[in-house]
Amino acid sequence: MLHTRSATLALCFGTGSRYEATEEQGIAHLVEHMLFKGSARYPTAQSISEAIEGVGGVLNASTDKELTVYWSKVASRHTDLAFDLLSDMVRSPRLDDEELDKEKRVVLEELGLAQDAPGEWVHQLLSETLWPDQPLGREIAGTPETVNSQTPGSIAKYIRRTHGLANAVLTVAGNADPDHVIKLAEHRLGDVGEPAPAWVSATSAPESAQVSIQVRPTEQAYLAVGGYALPRNDPDKFALRLANAILGDGMSSRLFLEVRERLGLAYDVSSYVVGFHDAGALVVAAGVDPDQSYEALDAILREIDRLRQGPVPETELRKVKEYIKGRTWLGLEDSYSVANWYGAQALLSREELSPDDALGRLEAVTADDVLRVTQRVFSGPWLNLAYIGPDPDADRFRERLTAR
């Protein structure tokens, strides 16, 4: 990306909340926070922030269920500083006891904010419904009890287990000299460390539709309808991505046109897919008037059934292919997105695909492929529901899910 004047460096680790033991819930996210609280060469949070902001750069991180990323974006001439910061934070964190106590309070505030946003929390409630009592279904931030139980020792142990270079990928995107970055890595990242950790396998699916309800005095009701889909590396993942786009990705999707535009049942309705090492899900989410929850669910179920009843028209298939291509390239305009793409590909995918390669696979999908994957995915005890809002009739939800 030599047309830019900046570069993004990302240290990506194949770890996240899925790699936690029960008593460690939230430790991956807490580690991410603590690495910004001081290191050997930058001993305080202030010294870290002043170093990166002194050159107008950005320093951030993210923790997911299977991937943790620490990244910095700077003007190209400050690449050395960005790498020095990232490498020192990851390899030599201070893990000060007093700072840990403060950061626990910050994390618990973050957890409380998430729970106070029902439109977001309903997705977590559905995850717990799909994968109960296991890491894949747990909240990434953990619980107050598990967060408060962590110590500098437990955090250091987790870092040793999960942040070794055998479990890491360094990606660089933008206007940077790759040979120079390689030399920096060889000099500053040190030894390989422990091998990649093992993740906890997802357990089998429930044999019947599950309904999870949190009663809250909200003006709107929030629904998340979802079921088991495909693991990240399943050969049918490109066909599923197209099926999802047809169903509920965008304002011209079937769900949006039917549930919002024609029936007026929701301000927003959409669908998405998630894929993990050995599991996946397709989810439809909507915010509706509580009195119209059952009617909205009926409309959602009709569109899911329609998708698996016959091939998608070629004009609609062509439209969603172009939609995904365009959104992919728009999303990759930024060097951070490019760095994150290749880091995730290297750590999580069986084969590393460039954006062009991935979109080529997508282009090859036929209408028959989409029908086949929807019939494969939307079968058996597929659907589960999470609901947050005024007290509903759970049996009415359950009847609709099981009558299909």
Query: Which tokens is 199 given?
Result: 């993740």
Q: What is the pLDDT of residues 180-210, one digit of tens each?
A: 988 888 888 866 566 777 777 888 666 778 9
Q: What is the pTM of this model?
A: 0.93
Q: What is the pLDDT of residues 304-355, one digit of tens each?
A: 999 999 999 999 999 999 999 999 999 999 999 999 999 999 999 988 999 9
For residue 209, the model assigns a pLDDT of 86
For residue 202, the model assigns a pLDDT of 84
The CATH number corresponding to 6-188 among 3.40.640.10, 3.40.50.700, 3.40.50.720, 3.30.830.10 equals 3.30.830.10
Beta bridge pairs of residue 93 = 39
Percentage of the residues of the chain whose pLDDT score is greater than 70: 97
For residue 2, the model assigns a pLDDT of 64
For residue 206, the model assigns a pLDDT of 66
Q: What is the pLDDT of residues 30-84, one digit of tens each?
A: 999 999 999 999 999 999 999 999 999 999 999 999 999 999 999 999 999 999 9
For residue 168, the model assigns a pLDDT of 93
Sign of CA dihedral 326, 373, 386, 198: negative
Task: Determine the Cα–Cα distance for residues 128 and 25; give it in Å rounded to an integer.
Answer: 14
For residue 200, the model assigns a pLDDT of 78
* pLDDT of 381 strictly over 70: no
For residue 204, the model assigns a pLDDT of 66
Of 7-11, 163-167, 366-370, the one with minimum mean pLDDT is: 163-167
Catalytic residue among 20, 32, 139, 258: 32
For residue 1, the model assigns a pLDDT of 64
**Is residue 288 a contact partner of residue 30, using CB atoms and an 8 Å limit?**
no
* pLDDT of 368 strictly over 90: yes
* pLDDT of 377 strictly over 70: yes
Angle formed at CA 225 by CA 219 and CA 226, multiple of 5 degrees: 150
* pLDDT of 404 strictly over 80: no
For residue 182, the model assigns a pLDDT of 87
**pLDDT, average across residues 209-234:** 95
Distances (CA, A) of 77 to 2, 50, 61, 73, 218: 13, 17, 22, 11, 51
For residue 192, the model assigns a pLDDT of 55
Question: DSSP alpha helices (H): ranges in 349-389?
Answer: 355-363, 367-377
* pLDDT of 303 strictly over 60: yes
CATH 3.30.830.10 positions along the chain are: 6-188, 211-402
**pLDDT, average across residues 106-118:** 96
For residue 393, the model assigns a pLDDT of 87
DSSP state string for 27-93: HHHHHHHHTTS-BSSS-SHHHHHHHHHTTT-EEEEEE-SS-EEEEEEEEGGGHHHHHHHHHHHHHSB
* pLDDT of 109 strictly over 70: yes
Q: What is the CATH number of domain 211-402?
A: 3.30.830.10
**pLDDT, average across residues 142-160:** 96
The model's confidence at residue 388, banded by pLDDT at 50, 70 and 90, is very high
The residue that leads in pLDDT, 185 or 234, is 234
322 is catalytic: no
For residue 217, the model assigns a pLDDT of 95
The model's confidence at residue 225, banded by pLDDT at 50, 70 and 90, is very high
